[in-house]
Amino acid sequence: MSCPRIEVDLSKIRVNTQTVVRRLGPRGIGVTAVTKAVCGHPAIAKAILDGGALGLTDARINNVQRLRQAGITCPVTLIRTPMLSQVDEVVQFCEASYNTEIAVIAALASAAIRKDKVHGIILMVEMGDRREGILPENVAEVAQQVMTMEGVALTGIGANFACLSGIAPSASQMASLCDLANEVEGVCGPFLKTVSGGNSANLPWALGDRTTGRINDLRLGEAILLGVDPTSGDQIGGMYTDAFTLVAEVIETGVKPAPFPIALTDPTTERLRTVTSRGASARMILAMGHQDTDILGLSMPVGSTLIGATSDHLVIGTSRSMKQVGSEVRFQMNYNALMHAMAAPDIEVKLLGDPPTRLSRRAQGKVEHLALV
Ligand SMILES: *Cc1c(COP(=O)(O)O)cnc(C)c1O
């Protein structure tokens, strides 16, 4: 089997999705799955849809195109406010997008009119993460402007937490978002279809004791893929944390003498060194490096320590019996490591588990419906 590779257990991803869908359903919250960390990988997306996600969302239009080319016809939104240079593709491939800029919304509207479509607009509100979003006091006004435009329909509002700040949302922030939904409807009239409360960092709030109010959607990536709460890094009860495994091959083993007392040839070269090797140590080199993944986001196998990495080499110290050249070492990845590895051109993605043999009903969506007519 080729190395390095990512082994993906599709059944674990499906079960993770089912678990969050079942827990959030009784609270009136549907799950929109975020596929950006897996670059819109179609088979992974299908496993997620099989698990009961209502739709998909991604930050990049290329990933959405990949989903569409694989025959996925469920609702797909763009969670990153569209680039002006990509509005035609956004309107073509996405039912709706999250937006913060009126100039972009106007361009989406023109593009939609050209294509004889109506594109959904979800306004992203800044609620404290200090990344994207319209300030709450300006949302009603922007919503009114959107209402006057042809080619676009105001379908919802949303907020995002913990991405830049790392701080999970508070109950009062979530209540403010619900109030804002009511305010926008008071001014604009239509019932907002989507009130999207945030991402995986919202799960402790959403599954807690308090009412979840008007929030009827969460956009979940990390929780479904890695089974962890992003703010604490802790496993979410009942979820698999090992749906993805990164496998690399040993290309050198042995004992290296202590480093020579010379300066590094290039002091500006950033070298990752977490263990200063005192004396000789048993080490192995794997054919994988910074070009493939975020090395600091790998959990080392038991008995192993990270000595360092360069673009193409990963040096590991081991207290266990040495592996042979040609053998494989397996790693779990955090979200950053997963995201980089999934995008790395030299890493094969190997699908395990029982992949859905046909597109699920949800994945087929409209196509199946048309076939019935
Ligand atoms: C990445 C992202 C998400 C998903 O975040 P997770 O922590 O992976 O659940 C949701 N919403 C927006 C706007 C994002 O950028």
Residues of the chain short of pLDDT 50, as ranges, are 269, 274-277, 360-373
Residue nearest to atom 2 of ligand 1 (CA): 199
Mutate to test the pocket of ligand 1, among 29, 123, 131, 163 (most ligand atoms within 8 A of CB): 163
Determine, yes or no, domain membership for 59. Answer: yes
On whether both 22 and 120 belong to a single domain, the answer is yes
Query: Ligand 1 atom 13: the closest Cα is on which residue?
Result: 79
- 373 found inside a domain: no
Pair 258, 221 in one domain: no
Ligand 1 centroid distance, CA of 51 (Å): 19
Measured from CB, residues less than 6 Å from any atom of ligand 1 are 34, 36, 59, 79, 160, 163, 199-201, 219-223, 230
Closest ligand 1 atom to the C-alpha of 223?
9
Residue written as tokens 């360092």?
308
Please report the pLDDT score of residue 284 as a whole number. Answer: 95
Q: Tell me, yes or no, whether 183 lies in a domain.
A: yes
In a domain, 359, yes or no: no
**How far apart are the CA of 273 and the centre of ligand 1, in A?**
31
Can you give the pLDDT at residue 104? 98
- Classify residue 364: in a domain, yes or no: no
32 phi, psi to nearest 5 deg: -105, 125
Looking at the structure, do residues 185 and 248 belong to the same domain, yes or no?
no
CA 216 → CA 127, 128, 189, distances in Å? 17, 20, 19
Q: Residue 355: what pLDDT?
A: 56
Q: How many helices (H) and strands (E) does the chain have?
A: 12, 17
Residue 145: φ, ψ to 5°: -65, -40
> Residue of the nearest CA to atom 10 in ligand 1?
199
Q: Are residues 39 and 163 in the same domain?
A: yes
- Listed residues 183, 198, 226: the one ending a domain: 226
Report the number of distinct structural domains present in the chain: 2
When computed from its CA atoms, the radius of gyration of the chain, rounded to whole angstroms, is: 23
Claim to verify: residue 78 and residue 132 sit in the same structural domain: yes
Domain contains 347: yes
- 239 Cα to the center of ligand 1, angstroms: 18
Is there a single domain that holds both residue 165 and residue 252?
no
Per the structure block, which two tokens stand in for 160? Answer: 């995002």
Candidates 230, 195, 217; CA nearest to 124 is 195
Task: Look up residue 140 and give its amino acid.
Answer: A
Q: Domain for residue 231, yes or no? A: no
- Structural domain range at position 92: 9-226
Residue 285 belongs to domain with CATH number: 2.40.30
pLDDT of residue 255: 81
CATH number of the domain within which 204 lies: 3.20.20.10
